[in-house]
């Protein structure tokens, strides 16, 4: 081991000067007027170059100067007015030449002001306001006879045609405000927001009809409706008042955007320090480097001045390099690595924190976490979109038959539960003598576990999900079977040397011959395996446990909802055991005899199942809590874990299950809004749709102590939804409407969008007096019309043939 001796490196040679084809500026001397030219030869030992000047003499011969000293040379960005063609080195004209590479933008580019707008003579068309400030000014002279209110119309068009937060971006650009994090508004923004809010809230209801001003206004600012409502106009009436801190004059500037800051930072001494640190691994103090630089002669300082000048040019266009690295890595790169990529094999251009401050201050920049999402191809998205439309059409028809039929949706799924899980954020409080306990296992595969099947039921009030409803817990069961032990089994006992033995003692006995124990089994559709390798058949499970539980629940609901026919709609995923041919055929027959229906969720859609979305995750947290309280967070036996899981299922609040079903309606709306995609799942607080703000728990009667469901506390429009909910209820019949009315001749045919058995139920049980009944029966009329038209065409062809045949005689 040894330390590198303190050897001072040779002065740097700027690649922007000492490279073939580099564009440089030459200072005048007693024998030459200097000028701008290209390097034609490099003499590194003498630190001199030969220059071919751009200007030519009177007879067309290129001027040149050999052996120009370094002190007269400066790097230059060649950007002529005519940017066509190329330079002598093959680079395109108009491109900044930095470090021997083509740059995409010149640091000293001349910005030509735009020409003044041309006046349109003779045009009588009224000019529309250009921005929100013009709109507010125009609203002061608005009368209702001119049409909708300008502010309301602007907010509505913005929500329909622009991205969320459009107004905030326009205001920042117009007022030249620095960027701020989402949710923080500067005083000019708050005053404008208050003025718009005051303008819209002072209008009479007749003038705001057809406009959702609060939701549109919140969308324009990219914030919540609650933020809009909290703005106090009294504290913002005086434009001189400001709740914000004093803004520094250098806020929003950096070495990447401000030439003055670049000149201040990248000095000759600064470059000397960077160069010395690059070639000296041991730390050097600022005082030492400063003293070394001040001792240099004027001639010795020249290379460092050239380096600083080249570095300023490089930093002026470094945003392009930053963009390249970010796009290449999709943002998955550390700030330190990004700084290293910018520096290359040269001096450090900018510190990681400097780059971080610049990049994260750009509009809409934020940190994200990558997610593992289901694979969705075009076919999946199409099926998800069709399924979501069918969902709304089905329940739209369900409201039509709510007096006679009560639809009940069943949701179910399977999940693994482990006897031991790793905990994070465990409290360690030495003052109380509290310390976490680490668990030792031979391998994680040796941790006992079992899979459970759980099913819930939701009864929407009057078949309307957005009025709330009642929830029930149908069944929870382990995937497996109790089997008899064929021999005694003993546990492992490990010694200090890492080896284990299996003592055949009573204390070490794990399973006794002849006793029953639970055995995990592979889940199948109808195959029960053999005696050696039995499997868990869903067909047998449904026949012995699920269907009897549903029959009992149907009888219970018949008493709770007298006079209504109870119709179950089974909703689960498309796992291979769920769609196995023999099992699904048998299940549909069983449902058909009871008047129930199977409506599985689309493929690759875990967010459309309340168990995948929240119930199983919440149960896991409750199990871990009970594991800590009952067993000191130690390893649980399988039977003990099953007891805890059953207790958690029994204690789980039915109102929360009902709440999740209302949330399920929001997820269906999101699928429609994203045309079958799942882009909504990656947004900030993607699964928080504001459902808890609009529901309250309800009880079966006054004596009940447990909530049985939820009720929506605010009425919802047929199409539009509550402002506090993220995704409004879509109008799935919009494409069949003109001016708000359904098209004639039954162009809207629900028969093509619903399963036949459900469509027949809606037609049979629907009332002819219901306004939507004729649209649900239009499909049948169309079918009869098509059959009649086909028969008529056949008779016409027969008659035509007979006439032609007899004419032959």
What is the per-residue pLDDT for 530? Answer: 85
Alpha-carbon distance 293 to 287, whole Å?
A: 10
Amino acid 95: pLDDT: 36
Taking the chain (809 residues) in runs of 10, the rounded mean pLDDT of each run is 61 86 86 86 88 65 76 79 42 37 38 44 48 80 79 86 84 77 73 82 79 84 79 49 49 80 89 85 83 89 88 88 88 88 82 89 81 75 86 85 92 89 76 78 77 94 89 93 83 79 85 83 88 89 94 93 93 90 93 92 88 90 82 79 91 92 90 84 72 86 87 57 71 64 57 79 77 58 48 72 64
Residue partners of 212: CB distance under 8 A and separation at least 6: 156, 720, 723
What pLDDT, on the 0 to 100 scale, is given for residue 702? 83
- Kindly state the tokens that stand for 140: 């002061």
- CA separation, residue 677 to residues 607, 670, 674 (Å): 12, 9, 5
Q: Tell me what pLDDT residue 559 has.
A: 92
Rounded CA-CA distance 450/413 in Å is 14
Contacts of 387 (CB under 8 A, 6+ apart): 601, 602, 671
Q: Could you tell me the maximum CA-CA distance found in the chain, to the nearest angstrom? A: 126
CA gap 35, 29 in Å, rounded: 11
The pLDDT assigned to 251 comes to 55
What count of residues does the chain have?
Answer: 809
Per-residue tokens: 132: 């929100």
Whole-number pLDDT of residue 565: 92
pLDDT at 564: 92
Name 452's bridge partners.
415, 478
Element containing residue 711 per DSSP (H, E): strand 709-712
**CATH number of the domain at 378-479+521-712, please?**
3.30.420.10
Phi, psi of 118 (to 5 degrees): -85, 130
pLDDT at res. 586: 94
Contact by Cβ (8 Å): 667, 730: no
631: which strand partners? none
């Amino acid at each position: 081991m040894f330390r590198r001796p303190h050897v001072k490196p040779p002065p740097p040679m700027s690649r922007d000067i000492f490279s073939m084809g580099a564009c440089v500026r030459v200072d005048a001397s007693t024998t030459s007027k200097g000028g701008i030219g290209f390097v034609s030869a490099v003499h590194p030992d003498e630190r001199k170059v030969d220059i071919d000047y751009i200007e030519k003499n009177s007879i067309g011969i290129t001027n040149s100067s050999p052996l120009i000293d370094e002190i007269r040379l400066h790097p230059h960005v060649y950007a002529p007015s005519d940017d066509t063609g190329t330079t002598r080195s093959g680079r395109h004209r108009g491109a900044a030449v930095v470090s021997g590479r083509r740059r995409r933008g010149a640091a000293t580019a001349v910005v030509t002001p735009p020409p003044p707008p041309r006046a349109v003579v003779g045009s009588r068309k009224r000019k529309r306001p250009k921005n929100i400030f013009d709109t507010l000014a125009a609203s002061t002279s608005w009368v209702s006879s001119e049409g909708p209110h300008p502010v309301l119309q602007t907010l509505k068009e913005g929500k329909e045609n622009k991205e969320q937060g459009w107004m905030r971006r326009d205001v920042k650009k117009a007022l030249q405000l620095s960027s701020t994090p989402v949710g923080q508004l500067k005083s000019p923004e708050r005053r404008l927001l208050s003025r718009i809010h005051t303008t819209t809230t002072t209008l009479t209801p007749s003038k705001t009809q057809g406009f959702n001003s609060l939701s549109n206004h919140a969308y324009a600012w990219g914030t919540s409706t609650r933020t809009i409502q909290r703005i106090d106009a009294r504290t913002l009436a005086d434009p001189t008042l400001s709740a914000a801190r004093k803004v520094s004059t250098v806020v929003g500037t950096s070495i990447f955007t401000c030439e003055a800051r670049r000149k201040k930072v990248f000095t000759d001494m600064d470059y000397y320090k960077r160069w010395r640190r690059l070639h000296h691994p041991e730390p050097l103090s600022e005082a030492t480097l400063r003293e070394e630089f001040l001792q240099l002669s004027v001639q010795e300082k020249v290379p460092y001045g050239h380096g600083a000048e080249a570095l300023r040019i490089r930093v002026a266009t470094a945003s392009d390099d930053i963009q390249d690295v970010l796009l290449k890595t999709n943002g998955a790169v550390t700030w330190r690595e990004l700084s290293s990529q910018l520096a290359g094999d040269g001096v450090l251009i900018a510190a990681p924190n400097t780059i971080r401050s610049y990049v994260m201050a750009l509009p809409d920049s934020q940190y994200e976490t990558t997610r593992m999402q289901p694979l969705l191809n075009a076919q999946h998205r199409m099926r998800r979109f069709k399924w979501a439309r069918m969902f709304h059409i089905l329940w739209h028809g369900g409201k039509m038959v709510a007096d006679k039929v009560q639809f009940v949706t069943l949701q179910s799924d399977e999940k693994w539960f482990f006897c031991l899980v790793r905990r994070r954020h465990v409290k360690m409080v030495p003052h109380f003598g509290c310390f976490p306990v680490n668990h030792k296992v031979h391998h994680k595969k040796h941790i006992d576990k079992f899979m459970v099947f759980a099913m819930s039921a939701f009864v929407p009030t009057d078949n309307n999900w957005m009025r709330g409803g009642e929830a029930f817990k149908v069944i929870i069961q382990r995937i497996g079977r109790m089997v008899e032990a064929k021999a005694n089994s003993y546990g492992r006992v490990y010694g200090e040397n890492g080896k284990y033995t299996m003592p055949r003692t009573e204390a070490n006995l794990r399973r006794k011959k002849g006793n029953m124990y639970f055995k995990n089994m592979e889940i199948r559709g109808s195959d029960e395996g053999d005696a050696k390798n039995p499997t868990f058949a869903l067909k047998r499970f449904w026949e012995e446990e699920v269907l009897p539980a549903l029959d009992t629940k149907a009888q219970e609901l018949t008493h709770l909802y007298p006079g209504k026919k109870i119709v179950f709609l089974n909703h689960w995923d498309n796992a291979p055991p769920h769609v196995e041919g023999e099992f699904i055929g048998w299940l549909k027959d069983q449902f058909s005899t009871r008047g129930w229906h199977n409506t599985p969720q689309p493929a690759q859609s875990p967010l459309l199942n309340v168990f995948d979305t929240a119930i199983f995750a919440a149960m896991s947290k409750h199990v871990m809590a009970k594991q800590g309280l009952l067993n000191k967070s130690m390893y649980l036996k399988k039977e003990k874990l099953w007891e805890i899981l059953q207790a958690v299922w029994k204690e789980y609040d039915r109102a929360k299950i009902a709440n999740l079903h209302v949330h399920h309606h929001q997820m269906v709306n999101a699928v429609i809004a994203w045309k079958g995609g799942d882009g909504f799942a990656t947004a900030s607080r993607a699964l928080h749709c504001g459902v808890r703000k609009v529901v309250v728990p309800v009880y079966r009667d006054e004596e009940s102590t447990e909530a049985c469901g939820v009720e929506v506390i605010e009425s919802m429009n047929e199409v539009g939804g509550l402002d506090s909910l993220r995704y409004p209820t879509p109008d799935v019949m919009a494409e069949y409407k003109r001016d708000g009315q359904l098209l004639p001749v039954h162009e809207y045919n629900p028969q093509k969008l619903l399963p036949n058995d459900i469509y027949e139920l809606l037609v049979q049980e629907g009332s002819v007096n219901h306004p939507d009944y004729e649209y649900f029966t239009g499909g049948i009329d169309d079918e009869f019309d098509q059959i009649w038209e086909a028969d008529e065409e056949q008779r016409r062809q027969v008659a035509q043939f007979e006439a032609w045949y007899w004419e032959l005689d």
